[in-house]
Structure 1
Amino acid sequence: MKKERKELFEWLKAIGLAIAIAFIIRHFLFSTVVVDGESMLPTLNPFDRMVVNKAGFSISGPKRFEIVVFHASKDEDYIKRIIGLPGETVEYKYDQLYINGKPVSEPYLKKYKSELIDPPLTENFTLEEVTGRKRIPKGQVFVMGDNRRISKDSRHIGTVPVSEIMGEAKLVYWPLPEMRMVK
């Protein structure tokens, strides 16, 4: 009887340790997300499952063109691409991105734009027109979906506090035949 209790206690310790490790990994290092909707097409497909790197993002901070997951509201998380960084101006003219008045290439959209029957992909706008601010505030970023025509992003919800970003999403792990790293 004593041996059985000891064995049960050892099993409970192992299970408890495994749960604690899983909690730490999920809460501080990595998480998963399911792409909901078509706002990131053609880069991400609806129902793609991705790994979100929390630790790497918190160390490096936001970088232009990273795909990030953030809390858009208490009940909803969005996945979008960082376009503008704190202190910058953002403008689109004739389907061209301008940061601080200088043209910036978006290579991840090149193929998508070339396949459009009725351009432009991105309508003209300035940061001030869509947010009421000339520059992105400190501690915030401007995000957009790759499918610009339907994406609900910073043009609609405003700039996103970096503190609301869960992490960077780079790895699609499901469906298995489409496993890949995204840029």
Structure 2
Amino acid sequence: MSGAYVWSRHAVDIQYGLGPSMEPELPNGCLIIIDRMSRSFRKHRRGDVVLLESPCKSRGETMCKRILAIEDDAVKINRVQQPESVQVTIPKGHVWVEGDNSLVSVDSRHFGAVPKALIRGRVLFVVYPFDMFHRVNR
């Protein structure tokens, strides 16, 4: 039992998809495999789909989003409440994340750049429903 806990806590984990914000890549309610181990030695890359703690909700609530920008990137964004786009430079130790389904996603357009410390792992595969099995692309 403790070996399984250590494996799921530090190596890989299986989790249900977390809502419609990453559709169609991650269908709502799908089963996904998370790589938790590589966060210790692999740099986060633009395009990675990650599982992270929500920066604006109670501790422990998680979300899946795609990294669009990494530290020191300058990005032009359209914030939800602002009609004009603005340029933002991502601070050190942060990433900019957005959902693929931008119409329903609550993401960095709402709460800004996210500390990398909130990232819990990288999504590797959709494994269920079986007819949607695929490796998650960058």
TM-score bucket of the superposed structures, by smaller chain: 0.7 to 0.9
In 1, are the aligned partners of 2:72 and 2:92 still within 8 Å (CA)? yes
Residue 45 of structure 1 is matched in structure 2 by: 27
Q: What is the aligned partner in structure 1 of residue 122 from structure 2?
A: 168
Are 1:171 and 1:181, in contact at CA under 8 Å, matched by a contact in 2?
Answer: yes
AA paired with 2:124? K
1:115-161 Cα offsets, whole Å, 9 max, x none, are: xxxxxxxx86324xxxxxx4111100000001112210001022111
How far apart, in 1, do the equivalents of 2:16 and 2:25 lie?
A: 14
- What are the residue-to-residue correspondences of 1:99-138 with 2, within 5 Å? 125-127=85-87, 134-138=88-92
Contact 1:58/1:167, CA 8 A, preserved across alignment = no
Counting aligned pairs with the same residue, the percent is: 28
> What's 1:3 paired with?
none
Query: TM-score by structure 1 length?
Result: 0.66
The Cα RMSD (Å) is 1.7
Larger C-alpha radius of gyration, 1 or 2?
1
Q: Could you tell me how far apart the structure 1 residues matched to 2:123 and 2:3 are?
A: 22
Cα separation, 2, equivalents of 1:173 and 1:180: 7
Q: Matches of 2:70 and 2:129 in 1, distance apart?
A: 32
TM-score, scaled relative to structure 2: 0.86
Moved over 4 A (4+): none
2:114 corresponds to 1:154: no
1:13-52 Cα deviation digits (max 9, x unpaired)? xxxxxx1210110111011221122111121110011011
Gapped runs of 5+ residues in structure 2? none
Which letter does structure 2 place at the counterpart of 1:81?
Answer: R
Please say if 1:66 is aligned against 2:51.
Answer: no
Structure 1 runs not aligned, ≥5 long? 1-18, 94-122, 128-133
The number of equivalent residue pairs is 130
